Structure 1
Amino acid sequence: MAKWTGVDSISLTLESDEDTCGIYANGWNRIGVTITVDPTDEHADAMDIDPKHLAGRVWLVDYLTESNLNWKGSSGWCYSNAANEFTAIPDGYSARPEATTEADGARPVSVTFYVYCSPGVNRKSIGAKVKTDSGDIYTSSRSGYSHSKVTLNPRAALTYMRRDVDWDWSRATTKEGSNTKRVTTNAWNYYLSLKATDNYFVTFRAHGHYGDAGYEGLFAYNMPDESRHKKFYGGYVWYSEPHKSGTGEIVNFPRGNDWWDYVNIYDRAYPERYLCFTWVCATTTDFEWDLPNGPITGLKAAYVTRIVAWDRYGNSGTFWVDGNDITYELKIYDHNP
């Protein structure tokens, strides 16, 4: 059986088919770098190797010094074999690359790694080092066997503030509607999205809300004394991903009142690009809201709900929604830790 002992060539390319691009130095933005190798046997004849085998015998290195980049590291210039939600090239090719190789047995053979970096790094030219089954090492570097490289230009990470996001709203549709026989419900959906023409949020995390079945996303409620507890004000954040059009359960009072309702959520185009909230006011006609019902055990409670939103390059903003505003509207603010 032929033994892999050498290579004819080593080349590196970016997913954009360019040899240089930007990268946000935030530890999240990942840029796909594909290394392609022409393997040869002990007779210098072309041979086939499994791409998975190559993946365990190739490393990304500094093109000038040949020092290894940090494998799955947390600082400096690092790389991994896995893409993430933030695998996109700034101002360029933005389709999410596949963490894959060419079909088994193909020649030449390729493997793709994903480079990322922490704040404060300098521009980096990247090559590759290959170790054959015979233990011979070939490098693509300034002084190496090949001279192919890609160059990444770090950009300062962005931190989004309230001025950078849209926070708009529109009336929402509920399943029961204005069922004036028992309850009249008015609901409004609020939408958190990035205020940009060429970028958008891709994932969100919400901290500070109930997670009980039937009350998922409820973060504030109030049944004011002046309404004789016939009004229920509630705020919900629909945090589950992936975002998709559907319904969310609201005004859930199955004990005593035998009442609950549903609201249409993620009712705009591109639901994955925004986080949907619902503000609701439900007024009873022939009873008061009974307590307790699930986590609703008093007349008023509120979380200060913290939201973290990331764009497609891994830049983020942190905001909070004050549940104490629930009687009037939903408001969003910059988060100051």
Structure 2
Amino acid sequence: MSDWMSVSKLSIILVSGDDTCDIYANGWNRIGVMISVAPTDDDGEPVEVDPSHLLNRLWLIDYVTESTLNWKGSSGWCYTDRENEFTAIPGLSGERAEVSFEDGTQRVTFYVYCAPGVSPQSIGVQVRTDTNDVIKSSYNGDFHEKVKLIPRTAVTYKLADVDWDYAHTSTKYGGDKQYVTTDAWNYYLSLKSVENYFVTFSVHDYFTSSGYDGQFSSRIPGDNGRDDFYGGYVWHREPHGSAYYVENDGRSEATIVNFPDGNKWWDYAKIYDRSYPERYLCFSWVHSTTGGNGWHIPNGPLTNWHVWCHPKIVAYDRYGNSGTFWVDGWQTIGGLTLCENRP
């Protein structure tokens, strides 16, 4: 096989086909850039280079100064060879056809991201051949193609930016009133935007034991013979609807009102009953009434008549911007309350 001596082509362009775009300076938003390189031998004839070897011989650089960007870094302008769930171009509406290249070229995709406080960046590319010749697409290089990324200030979402709405939902045994009467309501946290939406949620502080996973609040007041149960649940598993999907029932459901000891009762609520469930975080609020001697404690992690956590939720949009919220687990009787600060 011929040695890789030079290149007859070296170019860089955004995967969208453009040469300029915005990027959120939050360390998460990634923009795909495509490099096209045509390796040649000493006679200028095409030579094929192993893709992994080619990847290790390419660097993104500052188009003007020719300094390299930070490989998998955490400050300034950085890049990696992996996309993430926040790989999207801000302001790009609709689908764009990806850029096409001539035959005989090899292609490598990198993903650029940046930390807060950076300035606009023009990006070129550098390649080192097997004979250690360095060829650049830069202001003073052999080639002169570049892309330009313009940082946007990262967004922090507040209560005014989100929807927190709710609706009655069905339960598996909700129609059986002989032993227990159950009403359940689903609450949905989503981004209040026409073109943007949440894509992932980080959730903390809830019960994790089997049969109680996701429960964060339980209250059984003593003013009605312990007949009433109020519970709060966060359905945190991803990818949301599919993580809870029950094939036989054709729906997504989760365990609620789980009292196997004494009452011998448990139920299942229908959850994520909306289109695009991945864009929402679903919670359930439950009020159940039983007869006889009331609800029995302890059951599972419920060791007192009033047990609660305050779940912390960090919601990320498609560009990696985020908002941090809490749900009040103490105030259970009147429903679920979303808060901007920890209750």
Query: Under TM normalisation by the shorter chain, which class is it?
Result: over 0.9
Residues 217-248 of structure 1 show CA distances to partners (whole Å, capped at 9, x for unaligned) of 10001000102211110000000000115100
Match of 1:131 among 124, 128, 134: 128
Equivalent position of 2:141 in the other structure: 144
Equivalent position of 1:30 in the other structure: 30
1:206 match: secondary structure = strand
Rounded to whole Å, the distance in 2 between the matches of 1:76 and 1:13 is 21
Rounded to whole Å, the distance in 2 between the matches of 1:31 and 1:96 is 14
Equivalent position of 1:176 in the other structure: 173
What is the number of residues matched between the two proteins?
A: 332
Q: Is the 8 A contact 1:15 1:93 kept in 2?
A: no
Rounded to whole Å, the distance in 2 between the matches of 1:97 and 1:285 is 63
Equivalent position of 1:334 in the other structure: 340
Name the amino acid aligned to 1:46. Answer: P
Q: Is the 8 A contact 1:181 1:285 kept in 2?
A: no
Residues 288-310 of structure 1 show CA distances to partners (whole Å, capped at 9, x for unaligned) of 21111110111001111111000
Match of 1:283 among 284, 289, 311: 289
Q: Is the 8 A contact 2:225 2:293 kept in 1?
A: no
Q: Superposition RMSD on alpha carbons, in Å? A: 1.8
Name the amino acid aligned to 1:315. Answer: N
1:226 match: secondary structure = coil
Rounded to whole Å, the distance in 2 between the matches of 1:143 and 1:118 is 27
Name the amino acid aligned to 2:113. Answer: Y
Residues 107-133 of structure 1 show CA distances to partners (whole Å, capped at 9, x for unaligned) of 200100000000000000000000011
Rounded to whole Å, the distance in 1 between the matches of 2:289 and 2:253 is 20
Rounded to whole Å, the distance in 1 between the matches of 2:322 and 2:191 is 10
Residues 87-146 of structure 1 show CA distances to partners (whole Å, capped at 9, x for unaligned) of 000011677999xx99xxx72001000000000000000000000111111011000010
Q: Is the 8 A contact 2:219 2:230 kept in 1?
A: yes
Cα distance, 1:44 vs. partner? 1.2
Q: TM-score, normalised to structure 2's length?
A: 0.94
Rounded to whole Å, the distance in 2 between the matches of 1:90 and 1:205 is 22
Rounded to whole Å, the distance in 1 between the matches of 2:104 and 2:297 is 70
Q: Is the 8 A contact 2:262 2:296 kept in 1?
A: yes
Match of 1:158 among 148, 155, 160: 155
Q: TM-score, normalised to structure 1's length?
A: 0.95
Equivalent position of 1:68 in the other structure: 68
Q: 1:192 to 1:27 in 2, by over 3 A?
A: same
Name the amino acid aligned to 1:274. Answer: Y
2:240 match: secondary structure = coil
Equivalent position of 1:236 in the other structure: 233
| 4+ residue segments displaced more than 3 Å | 93-98
Q: 1:129 to 1:84 in 2, by over 3 A?
A: same
Residues 151-178 of structure 1 show CA distances to partners (whole Å, capped at 9, x for unaligned) of 0000000000000000000001000014
2:52 match: secondary structure = helix
**Percent of aligned pairs with the same amino acid:** 54
2:330 match: secondary structure = helix
Name the amino acid aligned to 2:14. Answer: L
Q: Is the 8 A contact 2:33 2:111 kept in 1?
A: yes
